[in-house]
Structure 1
Amino acid sequence: MKSSNLGYPRIGENREWKKALEQFWKGQVDESQFLQTMESIRHQHLKKQHEIGIDLIPVGDFTFYDQMLDTATMFGLVPERFNWKGNDIPLSVYFAMARGSDTAHACEMTKWFNTNYHYIVPEWNNAQPRLIENKPLKAYQEAKRKLGILGKPVLIGPYTFIKLSKGYKEKELPALILQLLPLYEQILQELQNEKVEWLQIDEPILVTSISKEEMKTIQFIYHQLHEAAPNLKIMLQTYFDSVDWYQELIELPVQGVGLDFVHGGENNLESLLTHGFPANKVLAAGIIDGRNIWRSDLAEKRHLIETITSVVPESKLWIQPSCSLIHVPVTTKKETKLDKIIKQSLAFADEKLTEIVFLARDQHGVDDAYFQENQQIIHTWKNHSERHRQSVQQAQKNLQHVSAKRKSPYSIRQSVQKEAFDLPILPTTTIGSFPQTADIRKARQKWKKGEWNEQQYEQFIQQQIEKWICLQEEIGLDVLVHGEFERTDMVEFFGEKLGGFAFTENGWVQSYGSRCVRPPIIYGDVEFLQPMTVKESVYAQSLTDKPVKGMLTGPVTILNWSFVRDDKPRQEVCEQIALALRKEVEALESAGIAMIQVDEPALLEGLPLKDHDKQNYLNWAVRAFRITTSTVQDTTQIHTHMCYCDFASYLEDISKMDADVISIETSRSHGEIIPVFEKQTYDKGIGLGVYDIHSPRIPTVEEMAAIIEKSLQVLDPGQFWINPDCGLKTRSEKEAIDSLKNMTAAADEIRSKLKETIR
């Protein structure tokens, strides 16, 4: 057997990738310094995989921002608004597509299948693709020439690339394929001429619910690619779930097929055992979880390999992660503060690669000490007392008898709340967070290192809250927030205050671009310990007569943005989180906070990839939100926030969350959701984010007024709120203030027009 990897975390052990990007964006290093640093990081990653012992090392998986963006620019798919002409795409244009510029808004960003990673959405819009640069070939040549590594180039497959793009109608898909195929053929031919042995083509779209006609299109594509480069071995790689068209897939004219035996693994294994596998092909078996951080039970993995090799001979088998390792942190070796039992139960990217090498080379008794240590750790972990809290499990059982409904329907609550808050038409607010400046980060570090005591830190946070309450009043916002200055991350903050969570020092993963997060680790039963947000919310409310929203992260988002224990169904873990957060909601209400925002930006991120699995997920996800929010009085207004997802397809389920007000992204997708409300009714309060906070550019009053006016063509002014599309944590103070001033000016302009219309 051979060991293989699909992709390695690009951020580096010390987030040196992120730091290099941000230094370049700030002008602290020039382009040549930036490129040199990136090359050094890239080489370190390749050398490390080689030293661990991986046989098939991916090359071309490294990127300056995002691999879908790389593929789009490789084919010259640069939208006209970026004014690009020529044969090379400069970094200024590349990063403008990702982040926006003074003259052009950024390309849309959305989730990569059902992961927490977000990619830049390629735009067609009648573009004529051409091959600007053979990036897989360049990556292969670099690794060979400079490191002596004969890598496995990685390329996003043509069907996945087009299906995840935008700017075309479904009937135009065949024409786009015919435009793109010659470019893929050229890439493959050049790789073949370079004597590349294996090319990994990623087609994760194959694990979604594709039709028979779509499968015929896939067959056409791969017959064409095989004819173009018959001597190049293609590993057609799938991941994140099982494939429905297994028999058709394994008969494609490729030399290898990669299947996920972790997520959807039971179905893939059943297909393998039922239908067999071609004797002339290689099976790349993803048996180590590439999306979670738990140490593998090597006894279970040995048994799985034995089952697979009853069909596929060892000489035709690769052992690898279930997907790219960009979804997990780099290494556990720098985790010095974790509880010993927890730490030894973890496996990040490097540890997963070590497991892969062990299993690929495994002969019983050869490395028995490593195996025995693994089994002892697994046994200890399964019996950890905090994974068996009786009080939590009993409360969860009691949920069988809970309806999770608000006391009154929305129509009654709306009337009561309108009288209680007396807000103007088109009320303005923000999503929650304000800029986390260098001073705020320094203060937090002083507190964590013990240089500041609790009182000093609390006084500093109160100063920030007071400053921004005053700023919000000056700007003219109608509903205020305290700013979340005490929070490093919207999930981490709550996890630190709940039982059953653990936290790493360096467990960073990429969310989008240079944005990295440290997902909490849910290792035990989750329980409420004490109020988490009441102090800051009450202090903020004491400074103003305007309503201040209490700010919580919802149960589904905490679940989906954490590394979750793998010994319980995710639904059960989510219910435990919901029960804990319900106590926090009740504490806020008791303290006089009359607006409470329970954010669920990741609710739709957790959707299963198969159509037939989605409704069950939505049912328990929506119920978890309602468990959290349903016990409050009618006068308490529940808000929620969601972003960068396919809202249009799930408005009915979103409405079932029964939040009084929901805010969602509109600006980055250029208002594409607005026409949906012409056909579908949404009867509750809604804020369509009128500007993109992920871009440093300041939106104009005219831009935001245009979005508001467009929205009011399909929404009742009485239900419409005005807000940014997400929190302002990552923006500078000037960017945040100037943008919000323009936003309130746009709201005032439209209010005046509405008054004139009424007259």
Structure 2
Amino acid sequence: MATIHNLGFPRIGKKRELKCALERYWAGKITQSALIEHGKTIRAENWAMQAEAGIELIPVGDFAWYDHVLSISMLVGAIPSRHRDNETLSLDTHFRVGRGQAPTGSACAASEMTKWFNTNYHYIVPELTKDQVFQLSWFELFEQVKEAQQLGHTAKPVLLGPVTYLFLSKCIGEEFDKLALLERLLPVYRQVLSSLAELGVEWVQVDEPILALELSGDYRQALKISFNALANNGVKLLLASYFDSVFAYFEDIASYPVEGVHFDCISSKQDIHELDALLSDQQVLSLGVINGRNIWRSNLEEIVEQIEAVATKRREYLWLAPSCSLLHTPVDLEQEDRLDNELKTWLAFSKQKCTELTMLKNGLATGDRAAIVAYSAPVKARLNSNRVNDRAVQARVATLAASDGTRCATFSQRIKKQSKSLPLPLLPTTTIGSFPQTQTIRDARRDFKAGVMSAQDYHNKLALEIRNTIKEQEALGLDVLVHGEAERNDMVEYFGELLRGFAFTEFGWVQSYGSRCVKPPIIWGDVSRSKPMTLEWTQYAQSLTTKRVKGMLTGPVTILCWSFIRDDIDKPTLANQIALALRDEVVDLQNAGIQIIQIDEPAFREGMPLKASQWQTYLNWAAYAFRVSACGVNDETQIHTHMCYSDFNNIIEAIADMDADVITIETSRSNMALLDAFERFEYPNDIGPGVYDIHSPNVPEITWIKELIHKAAKKIPVQRLWVNPDCGLKTRDWKETREALANMVEAAKELRTEFK
């Protein structure tokens, strides 16, 4: 009989309890002991939910206070010296790395943060030196295993594999071969495995998601060395790969001395019989047959047909699981009381996905398919639903042509016209869009949605907040202003609420990084715009000042990437549907006198396939969708876009192909190193390299900002540079925002004199 297990579970709690506890601790409102108790409670609830749903092997070690990659850095003692005060690492060390603090409490650079493969989760990039020393330094994993065992669960610890860990890290100081550190790292991993064996652990899940990439020979060899070293340490090893096909490495995987292998059968269609033939009869074949990254109910009837023969053959050597960790899906659909009944029958969150596995196991064991057939019926009905399909939208997308994604003039021609109609100084200053969302605004939004506050009162509060935000920016001396986005809950959710084809949950939160959680919209039908979405508040803000106010939109690729998307149409088609809806908004803003419009695409890089051979196809349709959203305007209208936490080296040509007049990017954490790509390619348009990190509470000094801009000016002509933070200011408070922006504006003023 097949065993069902899970690769990982959301760590934030049903209603973001971890977020609340972390932020209260950081604010000094609860003790560390209280925070630790909150963590224990969340873990116990997570384990209980999985066990009650039928999961037999419970993942342990998937819980992280800030990030699971950072947890491995803590485990092996690879913590930057600026964040540690001695050899003993503590929970506060963990937070200092992510938030940017020295042991003294003073500000220092946080470790870089970037996207976890092609997901919207951010991990903390390990910083390693050529002479890096690794040692077992953080014992929380063992304590969590004991917790789970004391609660009666069979724990399956989860470890990020050593080769993926090195792959994700960055070199500090001189460049060197990171794989040269593997020999030093493996003894610590062996020590971890031996310690887990002493606790009575039978299985350990070793995640090596780099197998989803197109690997060089040295990394393939490193994986072989790693598994040979980790074998025979008192536990059975389950290699877990996910996010894409590992077909190219079948021969390698077959040679690994592991007791089991997990394959993602969702992100890339797998031949189940081929996977069965790959492993011996005494190795566990784990099939990831439930989608761990989306929220649609599974067609269990179809899955049973695919795996029945292998299940009969392998029996206890077949395991069933989600495709990857459920970190990327909300916790529990049962909490959602506001979704309509039909839509709810189309969905499954983390808890329900665990239940789906139990239904599969029972159906295979008993041969009774009645429950599976009934469960799968709504999945089939969704495909032909009249709610889902809008012929007018489909026809509009079908008639798109290359000309719909082309501006009338080249950038060099446009910028001359824009310079006349937008008289701006050298190094113009602006922000990325959002300003601090005060508790007053959050309370007002909550009361309005709950029906406690009238629409008029809520409108008045928003108007007052926007008026104050404009006054603040004028007082600071910023050159291009924004309305501050007081009316917006989230940069994707806000637009989804105003577009047809979207649905929203009340508690469908997923972790983005640290304590930051987002509530992705669900795109269930064809997308269109029923009325203007941003026009009223942008016009209002512009009426309050003689300076230019930017219109602020979220781009089609980011809305696509940061939503739970349909699985019945392809991504390019859906991106074009969204792009056309945004195009209508862009034209309305221009016609209302808004001459600068920013279309944010922070997810542009993360949407790329993991395999390099597939990149260009993606980049072509993604850049086209952006241009469709932006190209309905005249030459004088200046289009901006924003990207954050991206490695631009592989996509610089595609960024140029987007043809935005100005791109603002994150560069402060990388100390302007990300601009190397723009220098090599000779990027032709204007650039605003972020000059300070908004994800840290630190206020940047004027000299620091000036140094960064000087570095940028060595790579990009100063005439094409803008000065801005690296991201929106929504999560910051007003005090630090004023201080940081004041320093930024002053630095720009001083530099204008220097560069004259």
TM-score category, normalised to shorter length: over 0.9
How is 1:521-560 mapped onto 2 (pairs within 5 angstroms)?
521-560=522-561
The superposition leaves residues 549-594 of structure 1 with CA deviations (integer Å, 9 ceiling, x where unpaired) of 0000000000000000111111111110011111000110111100
Q: Matches of 1:605 and 1:410 in 2, distance apart?
A: 26
Specify the code of the residue in structure 2 equivalent to 1:540: A
SS in 2 for 1:358: helix
**Which residue number corresponds to residue 714 of structure 2?**
713
CA–CA separation in structure 1 for the residues paired with 2:662 and 2:541: 21
Q: Deviations over 1:472-524 (max 9, x none)?
A: 01101000000000000000111111100000011111011111111000000
- Which residue is equivalent to 2:275? 272
Q: How far 1:170 moved relative to its partner?
A: 6.8
The equivalent of 2:119 in structure 1 is 115
**Percent of aligned positions that are identical:** 46
For the residue of structure 2 that corresponds to 1:674, the secondary structure is helix
- Structure 1 residues 372 and 172 mapped into 2: Cα distance closer, same or farther (>3 Å)? closer
Residue 250 of structure 1 contacts residue 257 of structure 1 at CA under 8 Å; is this kept in 2?
Answer: no
What SS does the corresponding residue of 1:676 show, helix, strand or coil?
helix
Partner of 2:230: 225
* Aligned twin of 1:304: 306
1:745 matched to 2:746? The reply is yes
2:92 maps to: 92
Contact persistence 1:318–1:360 (CA under 8 A)? no
- Where 1:624 maps in the other structure, the secondary structure is helix
2: CA distance, partners of 1:719 / 1:652: 18
TM-score (normalised: structure 2): 0.97
Matches within 5 A, 1:118-517: 118-125=122-129, 126-144=131-149, 146-167=150-171, 171-227=176-232, 229=233, 231-243=234-246, 244-266=248-270, 269=272, 271-272=274-275, 276-306=278-308, 308-309=310-311, 313-363=314-364, 368=369, 370-400=371-401, 402-517=403-518
Cα drift, residue 2 of structure 1:
0.4
Aligned equivalent of 1:70: 71
Specify the code of the residue in structure 2 equivalent to 1:491: V
Return the alpha-carbon distance in structure 2 between the equivalents of residues 463 and 33 of structure 1.
Answer: 38
Deviation at 1:677, TM superposition (A): 3.9
Q: Displacement of 1:633 after TM fit?
A: 0.1
Quote the Cα distance in structure 1 between the aligned partners of 2:50 and 2:135.
33
2:602–2:642: 8 Å Cα contact kept in structure 1?
A: yes
SS at match of 1:259: strand
Distance (whole Å) between structure 2 residues aligned to residue 307 and residue 511 of structure 1: 39
339-348 vs 183-192, which moves further: 183-192
Paired amino acid for 2:470: I
Please give the per-residue CA displacement for 1:66-86, whole angstroms capped at 9, x wherever unaligned: 110111011111112224212
Q: CA contact under 8 A between 2:363 and 2:372: conserved in structure 1?
A: no
Contact 2:427 / 2:719 at 8 angstroms: preserved in 1? yes
1:431 & 1:270 partners in 2: Cα distance? 51
Unaligned stretches of 5+ in structure 2? none
Deviation at 1:232, TM superposition (A): 1.4
Take 1:692 and 1:615, find their aligned partners in 2: how far apart are those partners? Answer: 31
Aligned residue for 2:83?
82
Higher deviation after alignment, 70-79 or 445-454: 445-454
Of the structure 1 ranges 455-464 and 504-513, higher mean CA displacement relative to structure 2 is found in 455-464
Moved more, 284-293 or 382-391: 382-391
Structure 1: distance between partners of 2:546 and 2:698: 32
| Paired residue secondary structure (2:8) | coil
Structure 1 residue 359: Cα displacement: 0.9
- Note the C-alpha offset of 1:278: 1.6
| CA offset digits 1:617-668 (Å, max 9, x no partner) | 1100000000100110000000000000111221111010000000000012
Between 1:353-362 and 1:504-513, the stretch displaced more is: 353-362
Shift of 1:614: 0.9
Paired amino acid for 1:204: P
- CA RMSD, 1 decimal: 1.6
Cα distance between partner residues in 1 of 2:425 and 2:273: 60
- 8 A Cα contact 1:555 1:578, kept in partner: yes
TM-score (norm 1): 0.96
Contact 2:699 2:739 in 1 (8 A): yes
- Corresponding residue number in structure 1 for 2:623: 622
Q: Match for residue 649 of structure 1?
A: 650
The answer to whether the Cα contact below 8 Å between 2:89 and 2:138 also exists between their aligned partners in 1 is no
The answer to whether the 8 A contact 1:134-1:187 is kept is no
Supply the AA of the counterpart residue of 1:211: S
Q: CA deviation at 1:175?
A: 2.2
Shift of 1:364: 7.2
Q: Is the 8 A contact 1:136 1:155 kept in 2?
A: no
Q: Which amino acid aligns with 1:175?
A: A
| Worse-superposed segment, 602-611 or 243-252 | 243-252
Secondary structure of the residue aligned to 1:221 is helix
Asked whether the 8 Å contact 1:246–1:271 carries over to 2, the reply is no
Compared with structure 1, are the counterparts of its residues 221 and 363 closer, same or farther at alpha carbon in structure 2 (3 Å cutoff)?
closer
Q: Cα deviations across residues 146-202 of structure 1 (Å, max 9, x unaligned)? A: 212220011010000010011257742232101101111111122223331100000
Q: Which amino acid letter does the alignment assign opposite residue 193 of structure 1?
A: E
User: Is the contact made by 1:24 and 1:30 (CA closer than 8 Å) also made in structure 2?
Assistant: yes
Relative to structure 2, which stretch is displaced further, 407-416 or 212-221? 212-221
The verdict on how the C-alpha distance between 1:252 and 1:365 changes in structure 2, with shifts beyond 3 A counting, is closer
**Does the 8 Å contact 2:363/2:369 carry over to 1?**
no
CA–CA separation in structure 2 for the residues paired with 1:173 and 1:401: 44
Inter-partner Cα distance in structure 2 for 1:315 and 1:708: 61
CA deviation profile, 1:385-410 (whole Å, cap 9, x unmatched): 12111100000110146441000000
For 1:744 and 1:552, the matched residues in 2 are separated by: 24
Q: CA deviation at 1:684?
A: 0.3
Question: Residue 652 of structure 2 contacts residue 678 of structure 2 at CA under 8 Å; is this kept in 1?
Answer: no
Q: C-alpha displacement at 1:221, in angstroms?
A: 1.2
Q: Separation in 1 of the partners of 2:9 and 2:197?
A: 24
Q: Is the 8 A contact 2:300 2:373 kept in 1?
A: no
Cα displacement (A) at 1:104: 1.1
3-state DSSP of counterpart to 1:500: strand
| AA in 2 matched with 1:285 | L
Instruction: Return the alpha-carbon distance in structure 2 between the equivalents of residues 365 and 77 of structure 1.
Output: 50
Q: Is the CA contact 1:671–1:707 (under 8 Å) kept in the aligned structure 2?
A: yes
C-alpha contact (below 8 Å) 2:207/2:241 kept by paired residues: yes
Task: Indicate if the aligned counterparts of 1:78 and 1:84 stay in contact, CA closer than 8 A.
Answer: no
Q: Which runs of 5+ in 1 are unaligned?
A: none
Verify the 8 A CA contact 2:166 2:179 in the aligned structure 1: no
Letter in 2 for 1:115: T
Contact 2:359–2:372 under 8 Å retained in 1: no
Q: Secondary structure at the match of 1:544?
A: coil
Q: Counterparts of 2:633 and 2:676 in 1: how far apart (Å)?
A: 33
- CA shift, 1:139, in A, is 2.3
Letter in 2 for 1:104: C
State the Cα distance separating 1:365 from its structure 2 match.
6.2
Map of 1:21 onto structure 2: 22
Contact 2:600 2:641 in 1 (8 A): yes
Q: Distance in 2 between matches of 1:219 and 1:363?
A: 35
